[in-house]
Each structure stands twice: as structure tokens, then as C-alpha cells.
Amino acid sequence: MKRLTLALLSGAYLCLALIVALSVWRNGGGWGAGVAALIGGLGLAYAFHGLIERALDSAAIRSEIGSLREAQSLLVDQLERMDARLSEITSTVATEAVARNEALSSEVHELEDIVAQMGRKLEGQLSTEMAAARRSDRFGEKRSSQAHVLLDTVREALAENRVDLYLQPVVSLPQRRTVFYESFSRLRDETGRVMMPAEYLAVAEPEGLVAAIDNLLLFRCVQIVRRLAKQDRKVGIFCNVSLASLSDEVFFPQFLEFLQANKDLAGALIFEMGQAAFDQRGPVEARHMARLADIGFRFSLDKVYDLDLDFQDLARADVKFIKIGAQFLLDELIESDGQVILRSLPDLQAADFAALTRRYGLEIIAEKVESEREVVDVLELDIGYGQGHLFGEPRAIRDAVLAEADPPSDFIRASLRRRQRA
């Protein structure tokens, strides 16, 4: 832009010099005077141009100097304010530091007092806990003594054949016709008080007495099945068997020998164990289950807590029944995309669950049925069997019947003696 302006001005200066030169030539000055006038005009024009440019430059410089002085003044003002603020901050920090030091000293003293108090309190608590520990030791000794008494009671109940048999019906649905019974064992002490499994199993299992209980329960179930057969009642009995019995190399041969002698009852006697026990079975237990299956006996799975079951594994182990809590089964139902599915099996419609188990030879029994509403809901899932207080509570077998089902007099005593020798 500056170059273009200079070119235009130069053109103007040249025109002005030509006009002056022509004027001199016309007035009789001759060519020499005209050329001199031309050169002189150009020189004067550029001289004036330089003066004007320098004046403008000087004005710009003065303006810049004024701006710089103004900026300097502003900077000095800012520095002065910053210095004042810095002094103020320094004074405030110093004051606050003194205050914080005083507060910190006060807090340190308070903490020292608290620590001292806590020390005294901990010493008191330690003394109290040591005294409680001494009492706990005495309580533990008392509990240990009680456990020994309970263990002796269990041994005496087995030796004296104070073992009761309870039966609860398992019905077909929707007919509600009794087709099976589940058996439960109960022990009685010398006073006749009934002991529940939760009470005596805790001491019986570590001592290896569960197998003896299973043996006696098995004997009773076999005798009851034979009694029902005489009455032409074709019903089966679920008889619990523990992993301890299946893994006990002392008792299982006796267990198996007795069943081989009664293998004609294989269709009416189903051995039952919980899902957790089934999942924990080892090679010995699996082999003994297979030996029972070889002579025709079947198995049932109860206490189911997960519906994502390995149906092939169950079928290979000759499991024929799966007992599932009615409320647990109904709680598994959820709706997804307008369809009712099982939470544990999201790829399967709930209505197809029973059909799936049947393809593996497994029948579902809805247990712990307590209401008619549960019956309706279970039937919608095509469940074929039900068990629970709604259909009948566990009832004790009459003493007269138990007398008929008593084992030989030395049956349990011999088992206990063999256990003690083992």
C-alpha cells in the first residue's frame, strides 16, 4: 500500500514538474530552461515530500512514546498495588500462622489428653476381655461337656433303637393322590424327648454315626415298603442317604449287602441327597452310587438352590427326581420381551422347563407347598408332583408298626462296634 501511494505521488510530482517546465518553455525560456525547470520542480516536490513524511513519522513516534509512557504509568500503579497487597498478605499470613500455631498447640494438648484417656479405657477393656475370655473358656468347657453328653445320648438312642420314622406324602398333581412318601428320622433320649436332626447331626457326623442312622432308617424304610406292598399300595419312599454313608468303607458293604438282599424293592425305594452333597461327591461316592444303580435303585435331588443344573450328569448318576421349593421356583419367574422365563435359565421359557427335565428322565417335585395359590402357579409350569404341609405334614409311624419294622436286636450294636474298631 505504501509503495502504491509513493508511485501515485511520484506521478503527480512529475506532472507538476512538466507543467512548470512547459510554462517556462512557452514564455521563451528555451529548452534548457524547460529541462532545468523540470528537474528543479521534481527536486522541490520530493524535498517537500521528505519533509512531510518526516513530520508524520515524528508525530507517530511521539504518539507511541506517549502510549509507552501511559503504559509505564499504569504498570507502576499496578506494581504499587501489588506491593501493597503483598504486604497485606504477608501480614495476614503471619497473623494466621501465629493463630494456627496456638490452635495446633492446643489441639496437641487435647490429643494427648484423649490418648491418655483411651489408654486407660483400653486397659479397662483389656481387663474386661481377659475376664470374659476366662469365662468363655469355662463356657467352652461347659459346651464341650454338653456335646459329650449329647453324643452319649445319640449313641444310647441308636443302641437302644430309639429312632422314630416320620413319613410325609408326595402327591400327584392335579389329582393329589399319594404316590410317594419322604422319610425322616428322629431320635429320642431316655426321657422320650424327640431330638431333631439339626440337634444331633452336629455331634453325630464327626463321630461317624450318620452312617449308622442311615442304616437304621434304611431298614425301617424297607420294612415299611414291604408292609405297604402287602396292602397292595404301590407307593415309593424317598430315603435320605448321606455322603458319609456312601464314602464309609466300613458301613457301605453292609449297606449294599442289605440292599442286594432286598433288590426287589428297587422300584419303590429312592435314595435322596441335597444338591450341595451331590455336587461335592467324589470318586468313591460316585462309584458306590453306581453300584446301587446297578441293582436297580434310583436317586433324588433335593434342597435345590440353583436351577442351572447339569441334566446330563444327573441322568448319568441315575437321578430320576428333582425336588425344588415351590416358592423358590416361582421366585425364579421373570418376564422378558412378553415371555415368562426362568432367571437362572434366561434362554428357556418357564413353561418348557418341566419338558426339558423329562427329556433327561427327570421328574420335578415341587416341595414345601403351603398354599392353593402355589398349587395353581406350579400347575401352570406343568409340574407333576407336589409335597408340603398343604398335602400333609410329616407324621410319626405308630409304635405298633415300628415294632414290626424293628431291626434284629444286634443290628445297630454290631454296626456301632464295627465303627469303634474302625
Which has more pLDDT, 45 or 210? 210
User: pLDDT band at residue 139, thresholds of 50, 70 and 90?
Assistant: very low
- Residue 2's pLDDT is what? 61
Segment among 91-95, 260-264, 331-335 with least mean pLDDT: 91-95
Give bridge partners of residue 286 from the DSSP assignment.
none
| Residue given cell 510554462 in the structure block | 23
User: pLDDT band at residue 102, thresholds of 50, 70 and 90?
Assistant: low
User: pLDDT band at residue 137, thresholds of 50, 70 and 90?
Assistant: very low
Q: 8-37 pLDDT, tens per residue?
A: 666 766 777 677 667 766 676 666 666 666
- Residue 142's pLDDT is what? 47
The neighbour count for residue 173, using CB atoms within 10 Å, is 18
* Lookup: cell for 417: 462296634
Average pLDDT over residues 67-91: 70
Cβ atoms of 17 and 41 closer than 8 Å: yes
- Residue 421's pLDDT is what? 47
The neighbour count for residue 2, using CB atoms within 10 Å, is 6
Which has more pLDDT, 403 or 299? 299
Q: 150-169 pLDDT, tens per residue?
A: 778 778 877 777 778 899 99
Return the C-alpha torsion angle 284, 286, 287, 290, nearest 10. 160
| 3-state helix/strand/coil string of 323-384 | EEEHHHHHHCEEEECCEEEECCEEEEEHHHHHHHHHHCCCEEEEECCCCHHHHHHHHHCCCC
* Lookup: cell for 36: 532545468
pTM over 0.85: no
- Reduced to 3 states (helix: H, G, I; strand: E, B; else coil), residue 405 is coil
User: pLDDT band at residue 140, thresholds of 50, 70 and 90?
Assistant: very low
H helices, E strands: number in the chain = 14, 13
The secondary structure element, H or E, covering residue 178 is: strand 178-188
DSSP calls for 137-172: HHHHHHHHHHHHHHHHHHHHHHHTT-EEEEEEEEEE
What span, in angstroms and rounded, lies between the C-alpha atoms of 243 and 281?
A: 7
Segment among 127-131, 143-147, 217-221, 276-280 with least mean pLDDT: 127-131
- Residue 191's pLDDT is what? 84
Q: 57-78 pLDDT, tens per residue?
A: 666 667 776 776 776 677 667 7
Q: 355-392 pLDDT, tens per residue?
A: 999 999 999 999 999 999 999 999 999 999 999 999 99
Return the C-alpha torsion angle 74, 79, 81, 82, nearest 10. 140
Query: Cα–chain-centroid distance for residue 225?
Result: 45
Cα–Cα distances (Å) from 110 to 105, 107, 113, 116, 368, in that order, read 9, 5, 5, 10, 62
Domain spans of the chain, in order of start: 145-421
The CATH homologous superfamily of the domain defined by 145-421: EAL domain (3.20.20.450)
pLDDT surpassing 70 at residue 132: no
Gap between the terminal Cα atoms of the chain: 118
